[in-house]
Structure formats: C-alpha cells, structure tokens
Amino acid sequence: MTGDRYPAALIFGVPGAGKGTQGEILTRIPGFFHCSSGVIFRSMDQDSDDGKLVRECSSHGELAPDDVTVRIWRTWIDAQRAIGQFLPRKHLLLLDGIPRTVQQCEMMEEHIDVKVVVHLVCNDIEAMIERIRRRAMLENRPDDLNDDVTRRRFDVYEEETAPVLGYYPPEIVKEVESTRIVADVLKGALTHLVPVLKANFPRA
C-alpha cells in the first residue's frame, strides 16, 4: 500500500465488454480482489434511500450521483476489509464499474493508487447489446432487457465514462480485445496485471 491508498487496477470498457466476467475469474487467483459497483448496488437494501436512488438511476440507464457512488463504494470496501475479505497488503484491488466519471476519479484519488487500466476494447456495439440481453436473462436483470435503457447506457458511457481513460497517464492504459473467447481475454488481461501484482505484492 502507498500510505492509506490501495494499489488498484481498473477493468474498464463499455457495457457488456466482460468486465465482470474477467473480475470474477481473476478474484479466484491469489493476489487479486474484485470490486464491482454493479454487484455492490444490486446487493443494497432496495428500500433504503440510497437503494431507491440507485435503482431509479439504473432503471433509466443513468449513473448514480458521484458522491453517492463513492460513499457507497467506500462503505463497502471498508466492510470487506473489516471482515478480512479484502487484505490491502496482499490484494491488488480490481475495480470494475468504478470510477465511472472523471469526478469519481478525482474523489477516489485519496483512496486508490491506480497502477494500470485494462481497457477491454470492443467496437461492435450491437454485439455488446446482445451480450447484455443474454446476461439479463441468465442473471435476472430486468433493466438490461429494455433496449432503450441499454442504448442509453452506451450514450452515458460515451458522454461520462469514456473520458476516464484520458484522466490516467496513457502509458498505464493497456488495451485488450474483448470480443475473443474468455480465456484469450483473460490471457491478455494477465499480461498487464501480473507485472503490477509482482511489483506491489511480491509474496502474493
């Protein structure tokens, strides 16, 4: 760790690029800890004020407010640390779905030290939309079955999330083609993640 900042890697890409799939695989490998904003949001009490706000935003394909998102993330990561799931001296934090705006990047600077951004690249938006439809049926995500909401999410990505790539130094942004088979994407991601893991957690 760098002071109180967690060494971190961003798993970045358009909706449906496979960020969650890669994160779930990687977190089974010693030395990695996957943190998905989507999983955090879906696990919230839907009757709480934050839960209602996040649900309302998601149902329209919009992002939750930056301050709310970062506060929810910080509460969750602190809880994972407290129960011994996230071990900052042993785990490279894999961030999936956060930060999603430049403002979130700025707000999270005091908490995370981003070492690499693994950008899962896909230029075929229709292929990603089809992936999202399949995921919606398999994982019971009703919002993802609404094409208008899904397409709005891509618009929001271009307007608010894509600029995150420009926030970080270009030399730490590494592209991996995301339309290949899962194992190939994993191989590409590990090419960039393993050196960071070895440099920061040599005993992981």
Q: Is residue 204 part of a domain?
A: no
What local confidence, expressed as pLDDT, does residue 3 receive?
52
Q: Is residue 193 part of a domain?
A: yes
Crossing angle, helix 49-59 and helix 66-82, to 10 degrees? Answer: 120
Q: Is residue 136 part of a domain?
A: yes
| Cis previous bond, 170, omega within 30 | no
- Residue 139 belongs to domain with CATH number: 3.40.50.300
Q: In terms of residue numbers, what domain contains 161?
A: 6-197
Q: How far is CA 65 from CA 53, 111, 143, in A?
A: 9, 18, 18
Name the domain count of the chain.
1
What local confidence, expressed as pLDDT, does residue 6 receive?
97
Q: How far is CA 95 from CA 45, 118, 123, 126, 133, in A?
A: 22, 10, 22, 25, 23
24/18 Cα distance (integer angstroms): 10
Closest CA to 6 of 39, 32, 27, 44: 32
Q: Is residue 203 part of a domain?
A: no
Token pair 């999410």: residue = 153
Q: Is residue 67 part of a domain?
A: yes
Q: Is 62 helix (H, G, I), strand (E, B) or coil?
A: coil
Q: Is residue 91 part of a domain?
A: yes
| pLDDT tens, per residue, the chain with 204 residues | 445 799 999 999 998 899 999 999 999 999 999 999 999 998 999 889 999 999 999 888 999 999 999 999 999 999 999 999 999 999 999 999 999 999 999 999 999 999 999 999 988 778 788 878 777 677 666 666 678 888 898 899 999 999 999 999 999 999 999 989 999 999 999 999 999 999 999 875
Cα angle: 63, vertex 173, 168; to 5 degrees? 60
The radius of gyration of the chain's CA atoms, rounded to the nearest angstrom, is 16
Give every CB contact of residue 91 below 8 A, 6+ residues apart in sequence.
31, 32, 33, 201, 204
Q: Is 90 helix (H, G, I), strand (E, B) or coil?
A: coil
What local confidence, expressed as pLDDT, does residue 149 receive?
85
Q: Is 146 helix (H, G, I), strand (E, B) or coil?
A: coil
Q: Considering the entire predicted model, what is its pTM?
A: 0.89
Q: Is residue 1 part of a domain?
A: no
What local confidence, expressed as pLDDT, does residue 2 receive?
46
